[in-house]
Structure 1
């Protein structure tokens, strides 16, 4: 069992399993939500997540990609975002991984970690070797998964890499 909390401690949660996946999301929403190049989000089945102290406020945000609602849970006192629920994926919880008391308790491997939205990753972002990197979301549209790239060595995002990624997304949209 692992626990996490907001900055002031008014909210506390626990998870009772290893993460299903670790998402490194480079979309514009996650950049704004974190103030960083990407969000590290650990994914759990909802049954393995418990809010053990406090009642978070919830901000509802409509995803620009899917059009579905993302329910962002945060502390009304200090403003820390702790986790998200998803209309699109109703049985999972996405935890803002930096809110865990031990932020490195889970193993990040090529088997459990994915990078989303290469198409909007900031220039200079380093992508690790051997990890699946998707141009957009893993699920480009309902039931249609994206095809990942896997870089042989650590790769720095450049204008050219982003442009190629955006071109692949456009080609996919034209085909569907």
Structure 2
């Protein structure tokens, strides 16, 4: 798997909100939780963890949507309502960006699957790591290191 060419950009479906990424991903993921299934209207959400200081909104003003939880704010385009990114308070060092919103997605492949206990039977991602729920913080640190090696070897 190659890494994205940086800076990388992307945006919502209507183009009203755009973002730029200037740092390499920490990890790529697919989440099978029923919340992600409902917010994406799909089997899972595909995302890319980006260092917080390597992610910026460059056009538009996203709004908080989804469950509107203070500790897990989900940001959407106010016009087309595309779910764009999440900034988990517990993981304040990163922004979790929806992978399919990048202008170029040819580099993306999920490294980790989360909430596989909730996955639809037919949903497969090919991710080399899977967790029945969300990984612990200790596992996240190990996964970030393992992702760097995995991405470099591809």
Structure 1 stretches lacking a partner, 5+ long: 147-176
Name the counterpart of 1:138: 135
TM-score by length of 2: 0.79
Aligned runs of 1:1-176 on 2, under 5 Å? 1-59=7-65, 61=67, 69-106=71-108, 108=109, 113-128=111-126, 131-139=128-136, 143=137, 145=139
User: Greater Rg, structure 1 or structure 2?
Assistant: 1
Indicate conservation of the 8 Å contact 1:71/1:86, yes or no. yes
Q: CA RMSD in A?
A: 2.3
Q: Aligned partners of 1:127 and 1:116: how far apart in 2? A: 11
The runs of at least 4 aligned residues of structure 1 exceeding 2 Å deviation read 59-63, 143-146
Change in CA separation of 1:101 and 1:31 when aligned onto 2, cut-off 3 Å: same
The higher-RCO structure (CA 8 Å, 6+ apart) is 2
1:107-146, Cα deviation, whole Å (9 max, x unpaired): x37xxx1111110000112252x7011111111xxx5649
Q: Count matched residues.
A: 135
